[in-house]
Amino acid sequence: MRSLTPIHPEKETERIAKFIRSSFAKVNKNLAVIALSGGLDSATAFLLTVKALSPTKVLAYYLPAKNSDQSNWHDVQELKQLAQLPTDNLRLIAIGAIIQKAWRIIKHYSSQEGENKQATQTSHLSKGTVNRKNLNAKIAEFNRLRLANIAARVRMMVLYDQAKKHDALVVGTENMSEHLLGYYTRFGDEASDIEPIRHLFKTQVRQLAKFLGMPKEIMNKPPAAGLWPGQTDANELGFSYEEADPILYLYKGGKTVSEMVKAGYRKSVVEKVLHQVEATKYKHEVPYLIR
């Protein structure tokens, strides 16, 4: 059974750079807008975009929320130096106040709907919950995720505003693993005009990042969406990308659970990965249309 193989970093870099240049030329744009989080995916997409267009043609934005790790800003500045990005081409826009204001407004109007309606809207959280304390914990966790989704959509709003202002394209930073797992916010971090690394699995992005000379601080970070302090992708998903990627690769190739297990993959991990895929598959199918 064919397995996920390492990429050829030099050839892949040139292929992606060519893709970026041709995509921008196709729509007669020469400026790129990209969000830098201090994570591996955004850093890799950023370095590839700089290579394709030149440092003067890339506008990078660091958009921290109130709970963002302060070390990320240091890593973003190190990336700026590595890419020889002009000082004015790296902008910091703190979005914490926007997020909190939006959340307060939403909660204000939600509270006006009344307690009964609120209970109905959160009834799906009570399934399997045996007491009020557990239900309250579920609601708090659910609201934390809602707030994280708002943060992702605020970032999208800022990026597209800046793209409009500068007549630029928004460069996305999603990889194939996140895409297949549905591990993104719709109309948030997956919103973009061009996706230079979406065809690569997370472990392949890591290979490419190493070739590009990625700073070790970024290389060594555990993958995290920065949704809240201490959050990591592995804790959220229940498995690592090293575990998921070969399974996702075989899934894309049409292999069944039994075939994957026969190939040596643990059934419990295979089922967990594919459950995540199936549970979020609708994200790739909506909006539903009459045809």
Chain centroid offset of residue 24 CA: 22
Q: Is residue 1 part of a domain?
A: no
pTM: 0.91
Q: Is residue 42 part of a domain?
A: yes
pLDDT by residue, tens only, the chain of 291 residues: 567 888 999 999 999 999 999 999 999 999 999 999 999 999 999 999 999 999 999 999 999 998 888 899 999 999 999 999 999 999 999 999 999 999 999 887 877 665 445 555 555 666 655 577 788 888 888 888 899 999 999 999 999 999 999 999 999 999 999 999 999 999 999 999 999 999 999 999 999 999 999 999 999 999 887 766 778 899 989 999 999 999 999 999 999 999 999 999 999 999 999 999 999 999 999 999 998
Q: Is residue 289 part of a domain?
A: no
The strand pair at 58-62 and 32-35 is best described as: parallel
Range of the domain at 32: 9-284
Whole-number CA gyration radius for the chain: 20
Q: Is residue 3 part of a domain?
A: no
Which CATH number belongs to the domain containing residue 161 in this structure? 3.40.50.620
Q: Is residue 258 part of a domain?
A: yes
Does residue 73 contact residue 226 with C-beta atoms inside 8 Å?
no
Q: Is residue 105 part of a domain?
A: yes
Helix (H, G, I), strand (E, B) or coil at 25: helix
| Cα separation values, 130 from 36, 125, 135, 190, 226, Å | 42, 11, 8, 36, 31
Which string of b and e fits 16-35 if b means at least 16 CB within 10 Å? bbebbeebbeeeebebbbbb
Strands (E), the chain: 32-35, 58-62, 90-92, 169-170
What are 169's strand-pairing partners? 32
- Which one, of 276, 9, 180, 163, lies nearest residue 172 by Cα? 163
The structural domain count of the chain equals 1
Sheet holding 32-35, edge to edge: 90-92, 58-62, 32-35, 169-170
Q: Is residue 70 part of a domain?
A: yes
Residue 214: the pLDDT is: 98
Q: Is residue 26 part of a domain?
A: yes
CA atoms of 93 and 193, how far apart (whole Å): 21
Number of H helices, E strands in the chain: 13, 4
Determine how many CB atoms are found less than 10 A away from the CB of residue 187: 12
Residues in the chain: 291
